[in-house]
Amino acid sequence: MAWPEDGDGQRGVVVMNAAGSARLRPGEPDEVLAGRNPVADQDPMAFLPYGSEVADPSPPNERNAYPYAAERLLSVFADPARSPDLVVVHTPRHYFPELGGHRGEHGSLDVIQSRAPLLLSGPGVRVDGMVADHARLRDIGPTLAWLAGVDPSPSHGRLSDAHGEPLDGVVLDRLVGRGARWVVGILWDGAHCGDLLDQAAAGRLPNVARLLSRGGALTGGAVAEFPSLTLANHTSILTGAAVGRHGVLGNLFLDRTTGRRIDANDSTTWHRWPEWARRDVPTVFEQVAAVRPDALTACVNEPADRGAGYSTMQLIRQSGTGDGSVALAHLMPDAAASPYLGNRAHLADDYYTWATRADDVGLQQVLGLWESAAAAPALMWWASAVTDAGHHAGGPRSAIARDSLADSDRRLGAFLDRLDALGVADDVVVLLTADHGFEAADPGRTGGWDQPLRAAGLEFDDIGPGFIYLGAMGGGNT
């Protein structure tokens, strides 16, 4: 459990579990209040090399690590209208199907659920092969914007928000230099960092290997913001801002100013992201448009699209239907006919089927945008979903998770073939990442906190799950 605490003129956060508690403040040593510090190990490179993660999957709290714990937790409590009073996260082994949990899950503060891959490929890349290092997901957007021509502020050295204040993410100029004519960011939702690199090394992801042959990857990947959930991190990636600043605190959260709960991560509502993200935090597309108004930017199958010249979600909004899944349905090809689907048996999983169709539409858009070099976007962001479906269904290293990586690899191959056919592969810099990691649950490890808390007489809303808002709440969904 974690909650904010003000004291000595500085905001901190208290973390507690059955074994002890501690007070955390960014930049200061943790202060143990009782027992042992539940987040004593904060090493972002924990469980590396990958064999150590495989040998101790979904570890209990006392063997786990929680990178940037103070900073990441504090940000969740930074939004006066939307922050919960308390957050509760389970160990990675916890299984909660009654609240929507799957065999594979993410959302926690711990290092593996927070570790997304980060591959860099193409001209200017300074990473050669596998490098024992890590970055943050919030660094990706500022890096893409900088590669596409946006300069950091000379006064504070970072990209700026609408008030001129520095964004949280930094430009990763230690990993890549400018010079590419085209900039491409690719997100494979929930793709597992260690297994992605392992499968590529084993020859099972030939197109990831093509990317790696022109650059490399960080074995520690990029650390997600907390919670390690989809929409919170898509927004941090594409704005460079921490969650308490961009306002998309999770997939589900409450807005106290309206009393409504916001369900941001759903195929029926994903196009409504601009209603929820704070306007004073610009997207990479707005950053690039401000300095290169004539440059085309493109945002494929991604909710965090404000300011993009081409955007899938904008097409959905313009279609006039309020339901994003209906608006896209007529465009979506039959999943069983997908040339990128490796194993038709996975179509027994509804999410895998939907993601296959959405990702095929995504690739169609990408190939349409890259019909010719003359018309290609200066900056393109391309999000894919089937990797999230595969990892939820079976957990990392399962057959279905690995097949979802292979399906995405085939779509990546179609794009790389197009770059080769246009003769521009040496002029395109590509960053490939994800929005969070994954760990496998233990179906025997069940239970929750709701019933004991209600039995103790507390009135609260548990949203997410794990975002707890004290007091009775009115309103409905929005």
Q: Site residues (CB under 5 A) for Zn ion?
A: 189-190, 230, 388, 435
Q: Considering beta carbons, is residue 104 or 142 the nearer one to Zn ion?
A: 104
Reference 87, options 254, 270, 264; nearest CA is 254
Report the SS3 class of residue 349.
Answer: coil
- Residue 334 is encoded by which pair of tokens? 């039959």
Shortest reach from residue 435's CB to Zn ion, in Å: 4
Shortest reach from residue 52's CB to Zn ion, in Å: 24
Reference 237, options 174, 198, 295, 189; nearest CA is 189
Shortest reach from residue 189's CB to Zn ion, in Å: 4
Backbone angles phi, psi at 469, to 5 degrees: -110, 120
- Rounded distance, CA 415 to CA 364, Å? 10
Helix (H) or strand (E) holding 420, with range, is helix 399-422
Shortest reach from residue 192's CB to Zn ion, in Å: 12
- Rounded distance, CA 26 to CA 172, Å? 22
Beta strands in 341-394 (DSSP E): 379-384
Rounded to the nearest angstrom, the gap between the alpha carbon of residue 474 and the centroid of all alpha carbons in its chain is: 30
Shortest reach from residue 118's CB to Zn ion, in Å: 15
Q: Considering beta carbons, is residue 272 or 391 the nearer one to Zn ion?
A: 391
Reference 6, options 34, 20, 25; nearest CA is 25
Report the SS3 class of residue 199.
Answer: helix
Report the SS3 class of residue 295.
Answer: coil
Q: Considering beta carbons, is residue 300 or 378 the nearer one to Zn ion?
A: 300
Q: Considering beta carbons, is residue 438 or 460 the nearer one to Zn ion?
A: 438
Shortest reach from residue 363's CB to Zn ion, in Å: 19
Shortest reach from residue 231's CB to Zn ion, in Å: 8
Q: Considering beta carbons, is residue 42 or 230 the nearer one to Zn ion?
A: 230
Q: Considering beta carbons, is residue 287 or 433 the nearer one to Zn ion?
A: 433
Shortest reach from residue 390's CB to Zn ion, in Å: 12
Q: Considering beta carbons, is residue 88 or 232 the nearer one to Zn ion?
A: 232
Q: Considering beta carbons, is residue 90 or 436 the nearer one to Zn ion?
A: 436
What residues pair up with 290 in beta bridges, in sequence order? none
DSSP class of residue 60 equals -
Beta strands in 18-157 (DSSP E): 20-24, 31-35, 86-87, 104-105, 115-116, 118-121, 129-131, 135-136
Q: Considering beta carbons, is residue 37 or 230 the nearer one to Zn ion?
A: 230
How far is CA 5 from each of CA 13, 15, 73, 199, 242, rounded to the nearest angstrom? 5, 10, 12, 44, 19
Residues in the chain: 478
- Residue 312 is encoded by which pair of tokens? 């899938």
Shortest reach from residue 111's CB to Zn ion, in Å: 17
DSSP class of residue 330 equals T
Q: Considering beta carbons, is residue 377 or 437 the nearer one to Zn ion?
A: 437
Shortest reach from residue 348's CB to Zn ion, in Å: 21
Shortest reach from residue 233's CB to Zn ion, in Å: 7
Q: How many CA atoms, within 13 angstroms, populate the side-chain half-sphere of residue 49?
A: 5
With both helix axes pointing from N to C terminus, report the angle between 230-239 and 284-291 in degrees, rounded to the nearest 10: 20
Residue nearest Zn ion, CB atom distance? 230
Shortest reach from residue 299's CB to Zn ion, in Å: 16
Q: Considering beta carbons, is residue 64 or 228 the nearer one to Zn ion?
A: 228
Q: How many CA atoms, within 13 angstroms, populate the side-chain half-sphere of residue 184?
A: 28
Q: Considering beta carbons, is residue 388 or 462 the nearer one to Zn ion?
A: 388
CA dihedral over 82, 83, 88, 91, signed as positive or negative: positive
Helix (H) or strand (E) holding 353, with range, is helix 350-369
Reference 111, options 391, 435, 387, 438; nearest CA is 438
